[in-house]
Structure 1
Amino acid sequence: MSKIPTLFEWAGDHQTFETLFRKFYTKVLKDDLLGEVFQNMSPDHVQQVAHFVAEVFGGDNLYTTQDNGSHTIMIGKHIGKMLTEEKRQRWVHLLLQTADEIGLKSDSEFRSAFVGYIEWGTRLAVINSQLTENPMNTNEPMPTWGWGETGGPYIPSEI
């Protein structure tokens, strides 16, 4: 029996994620709704998001090692941003559009897992963006995402 690949392995490699997010954030910066949200992003933002998602999908731990990041730090980037559902939906739409444009795997199993993570993560980003303090402990592990788990129901006190 062959080993089931991680979502990262199935998608390609680190270059796949870096290309996806580089092209995506080029669109975001030009977008009427999202442009102002990201106009002051750090020069490392695109690479850090690519590293974060790749790590969540089972790739090397570049976000936690090379970028000195953590899940708590990523959550913290959204605190106080006051994101709306409209902005979340646009972000998701542009990311999926970019995924199609770069030829990201489009089989139903991978896209279901990919979209599942993007929906889960962006909805948490909106929730956390309404807060004034990071609700996570500094030692919280990075999330991991596979071929179908959602991690159970969202319970705010367990973030």
Structure 2
Amino acid sequence: MCRSGAPRIRRNRRREALSYQTRASSSVQSLPFRPPQSHRGGENRSVGVDIEMSRPMSDILGVAMSIATAQEIDLLRQLPAGEMHSSFFDLWTRKEALLKAIGRGFLVDPRQAEVGIGQGRSYVTFDAGVWTVETLAVSASVRAAVAIEGELATELVVRPFL
């Protein structure tokens, strides 16, 4: 187990460790694995994934104020009502994926991390590092995001696991 209580598989003979977070949301589940070699001389990358079922919420802005930066709140407020709901869940999953990737989850105040509300990929500087944060296309009712340590140049692929 790491500091946050997330599962961790011990290092193998090559001193590579695998940290992971599993997340299930209704019938969707993820199990991300990080590649053993990375951008920093063969060290491992941290990965965090979050999946949420989109559900009705009566006070999206109220909830957003507990997790979002001032700029993220302003961006949400500028959206048409029809886009605010899905953008909130994109924000939530992006934020939670990043906090899982750093290994501390909500032990860190999520308002400290600026991840943006849009879909697609962004590069976020947080916790003395750069992170690739990307919204994943799962389905219309499922919002998901991944955060990967470093600036990832390759495309991410979502595949069904049957």
Provide the TM-score with structure 1 as the length reference.
0.30
Richer in strand (by share): 2
Higher relative contact order (CA 8 A, sep 6+): 1
Richer in helix (by share): 1
Provide the TM-score with structure 2 as the length reference.
0.29
